[in-house]
A and B are shown apart, each in its own frame.
Chain A
Amino acid sequence: MSQLPALIPTTLILAGLLSLLVGLRSLRAGHLIALTGTVVSFLVSVIGLLEVPSSGQPIRYALGGWIPPIGIEFVLDHLAAYMTTLVTGIGVLVLIYAPRSIRHESPGKAALTYPSMALLVAGLAGMSITGDLFNLYVFLEIAALAAYALLATGRRGGAFATLRYLLIGAVGGGFYLLGVGFIYFSVGSINMADVAARLPELLESRSVISGAVLMVLGLALKMGLFPLHFWMPDVYTNAPSSSAALIAPIMTKVSAYAIVRLMLDVFPPGFFTEALPIAATIGWMSAAGILFGSIIAIGQQDYRRMLAYSSVGQIAYVGLGIALANPIGLIGGLLHIVNHALMKGLLFLIGGAIQWRTGLVRIPDMVGLGKKMPWTMYAFVIAVLAMVGIPPTAGFFSKVYLMIGAVQADAWVWFAVIVLSSLLSAIYFFRMVEFVFRDVEGAEESADDSATGGVSADELRGAVAGEVPPSMFIPIAILSAAVILVGVFNFLIVRALLEPAVAPLLGG
């Protein structure tokens, strides 16, 4: 059992490297290896997810047998199990979905895509699980490098957008690393538990304060918190669908999670709220980001650009949860990490399916798609209901927790922002639903005209009744089901995983 934490990232790294070597000879085998590695890692995460709440104790693993404060330590606790399961689960679904989408959108890049996907998931799972501040930086950069490779292979501007993302990412990583340096030179340790034990005597130290600010600033850049989000829309718009579907749901969330980790488990309770105005700053940036993202999304014509601006708003919900810094609010923020990952993953996969089937990327062109690919569009409606926050979908409950948290914190402005942004996202998503299901004479024809940009008749033969093929539809169906199930059973997640995770906020 104690080997569990190490198995999650190492399986993925191994699978990524093997997949690269094998994939150059046989694409299919390369894909299979990456997929197998991710599935194994997902199963291990699920075992951890069941094991940790039942024993109530985190599973610790000391790398190379070095005793923790000296060596690097992996800690699989409630929150880490929650994150690794999400990250690897999305990884499995996107890897199932990817081959056809890649063959259509960026042919010839597949051999390098699967290893990069496995390494990206490895980096993010490692960030979730590590108990060491510097090790977190290393995993952060592993994930970032894999993400640059995945994102750059898309449309014409992909490489340029990714280069701008890389520069921002380097600054973010650099600030975080500097912060680790400040903490190390004043505390004398980079093991999270050890730092947490030594910090209370040093809270007045200016270098501890600078370290905390630099680390949070670096992670905020990585998570795309408004106004540090400006790289996001171009990157997501130009990336291949399957890469965007993997990166948009989980990448920024894991950086948000790292901030939560610092707040809960490294710095003492109250340090981010009372000693320093970090939480309040994140809160106002998030509130501005929610409104900005939602308003700009309304005007977008490109489907993925709309999703990107919506992501700018949605990641800010997690930021609000951090800022509220009371248990209910933080539970809302953490629950929204999973909810938004499922919804946004679903929406990007649907975008890729539309592009595969019809070649369309602009919303006004999508008139009448409801007839052409009805099942995919039902899944789209589920995702939209969740994004707007209509019960019993997942999106509803995280917003309810956030609202209760805002009421408890007397943060009425933030409360209003949450309500208002739900209305705004209703505007831009229902507009699209209306387009898709509009019954227009001749819509069939115009859609067929543009189908020349889509798949050839040969490829379409394997598809189900004019829909996308099973390898693309099954991940969409699973995510749609997950959006509803996570909504209905959210109390189980909250009780088993999130309530113990936020216990440090109660001063425990």
Chain B
Amino acid sequence: MTIEFFAGRYPYILIAVLLAIGLYGMTMKRNLLKKVIGMTIFQTAIYLFFIQGAFKQGATIPVYTEEFGTDPTLYMNPLPQVIVLTAIVVGVAITGVALSLLLVTYRRFGSLDEEVIIQSMRESA
């Protein structure tokens, strides 16, 4: 049972592992840059989830061809892929903003260590 369980679902297990790694990086790491890396891993896992969910063996792009006819099962579902494309654009924008915030933070505090920055903020307050 266990082998079949994993054989049928290994992409999803991989995605779950990636989600966990991303969340771990974002919550447990003290370095802000590593947190941002964790965030991108987390986001990538979500893209993979949509791609995996929409994957069909032997199907073609969703443009009508004579060869495949009108059978919908022979065509890929374009919607999840469109969602992923949009989500990637959103993700890139978020990463860009995060990196620029990192830069400003480093210039102001001279460190990317969360504890050091919090300490410095307490002292100045």
Contact = CB atoms under 8 A, between A and B. Distances in A.
A108 interface: no
A152 B86 CA distance: 25
A163 interface: yes
Given A167-B35, A177-B46, A181-B49, A145 B97 contact: yes
Given A141-B93, A159-B104, A163-B102, A170 B49 contact: no
A367 B90 CA distance: 47
B20 interface: no
B42 A174 contact: yes
Contact of B53 (A138, A157, A185): A185
A148 B101 contact: yes
A141 B101 contact: no
Contacts of B26: 167, 170-171
B49 A178 contact: yes
B10 interface: no
A55 to B, nearest CB: 32
A136 to B, nearest CB: 12
Q: What size tier do the contact residues of chain B reach?
A: 20 to 34
Contact of B97 (A148, A156, A185): A148
Interface string B90-124: 10011001100110110011000000010001001
A231 interface: no
A140 to B, nearest CB: 9
A174 B47 CA distance: 10
A22 interface: no
Contact of B101 (A138, A166, A185): A166
A1 B46 CA distance: 39
A138 B49 contact: no
Given A160-B117, A163-B105, A171-B26, A149 B97 contact: yes
Contacts of B36: 167
Contacts, number: 85
A168 to B, nearest CB: 9
A374 to B, nearest CB: 30
B54 to A, nearest CB: 8
A162 to B, nearest CB: 6
A375 interface: no
B11 to A, nearest CB: 13
B13 interface: no
Contacts of B49: 178, 181
Contact of B98 (A134, A138, A166, A173): A166
Contacts of A430: none
A156 B46 contact: no
Interface in A168-193: 170-171, 173-174, 177-178, 180-181, 184-185, 190
A315 to B, nearest CB: 23
Interface in A115-173: 134, 137-138, 141, 144-145, 148-149, 152, 156-157, 159-160, 162-163, 166-167, 170-171, 173
B108 A167 contact: no
B121 to A, nearest CB: 5
Nearest to B96: A145
A159 B43 contact: no
Contacts of B14: none
Given A134-B83, A159-B105, A174 B93 contact: no
B55 to A, nearest CB: 11
Contacts of A173: 90, 94
B21 interface: no
B43 A174 contact: yes
B100 to A, nearest CB: 8
Contacts of A157: 108, 117, 121, 124
Nearest to A142: B90
B94 A170 contact: yes
Contacts of B124: 156-157
Interface string B35-75: 11001001100100110010000000000000000000000
A134 B93 CA distance: 17
Which 5 A-B pairs rank lowest in CB-CB distance, beginning with the nearest? Answer: A159-B104, A163-B101, A141-B90, A185-B53, A157-B121
Given A166-B101, A174-B43, 17 more contacts: A134-B86, A141-B94, A156-B108, A156-B124, A159-B108, A160-B32, A160-B101, A167-B36, A170-B26, A171-B39, A173-B90, A177-B87, A178-B46, A180-B83, A181-B83, A190-B79, A190-B83
18 contacts: A137-B90, A138-B86, A141-B94, A148-B97, A149-B97, A152-B101, A156-B124, A157-B121, A159-B105, A159-B108, A160-B109, A163-B32, A163-B101, A170-B42, A178-B49, A181-B50, A184-B79, A184-B83
